Structure 1
């Protein structure tokens, strides 16, 4: 069986969880756009104040930070800091040929940690809750990286 084949259950679970990460990163971008458009505020660049069909009544205050837009941007930024590491470590973890139980813990644990982080950020939970979900996801990615390094170097 080829490692990078849908017949390999470790790769299959990696592919599904990696694609969920793609949807999360791209979806968060769209949530930010939705917040920008509904708030008509929080625009990022001066050229966003040009009169267009999407912004028929530009106003300089549209460049002021908007709490809803900024929260979505921070969530997106956090995704961009964390999910690509999962993609790389998870893809290389397949090379280590881990047992399926380990892959399930690492892959789905990361997805659950990111879902928890999204929930905590979206509902304005205290930092400690957000940090707990971040820490769990981070430890899982680091664990995959160390496991893979050990297998490849030994």
Structure 2
């Protein structure tokens, strides 16, 4: 059995967790667009003020920061700062043949931590709660990277 094969249950767990995170990243972008369209504000670029079928009444205020839209944009940026590291560390982790229970705990734990982080951010919970979920996900990625380094150097 090769590590990067569906015959490997650790790789299958990685694929599930990674696909869920792809959907999270892409969904967050769509959430931002939905919010912009809902309030007709928070647009990102000056050319967004051109009249068109979606923006029939452009107004310069539409490119001002809108907290409702910007909150989603910040969540998206946070995903883009964290999830790619999981994809890389997780794939490397698969190659060192960890125990299935450990791989599932870490990979699905990361997914749960990111979804909890999303919930905390979207519902405007305290920074401390949001930071707790960030920390859990971050420690998981750091552990996987360290585990790979240990396996490669020992």
Look up the match of 1:83.
83
Gaps of 5+ in 2: none
For each residue in 1:94-128, what CA deviation from the matched residue of structure 2 results, as whole angstroms up to 9, or x when unmatched? 11100011101110110010011001001100000
Look up the match of 1:100.
100
Query: Per-residue deviation at 1:64?
Result: 1.0
Query: Per-residue deviation at 1:21?
Result: 0.6
Asked if 1:34 is matched to 2:34, the reply is yes
Distance 1:153 1:140 in 2: 20
Distance 1:66 1:52 in 2: 21
Distance 2:2 2:128 in 1: 42
Query: Per-residue deviation at 1:39?
Result: 0.7
Distance 1:80 1:14 in 2: 18
Distance 2:131 2:76 in 1: 16
Distance 2:31 2:46 in 1: 21
Distance 1:11 1:150 in 2: 20
TM-score, structure 1 normalization: 0.99
Give matches, 1:73-152, under 5 Å.
Answer: 73-152=73-152
Cα RMSD (Å) of the superposition?
Answer: 0.5
Distance 1:66 1:91 in 2: 37
Gaps of 5+ in 1: none
Distance 1:104 1:13 in 2: 6
Number of aligned residue pairs? 154
Distance 1:18 1:5 in 2: 15
Distance 2:89 2:45 in 1: 34
Q: Secondary structure at the match of 1:97?
A: coil
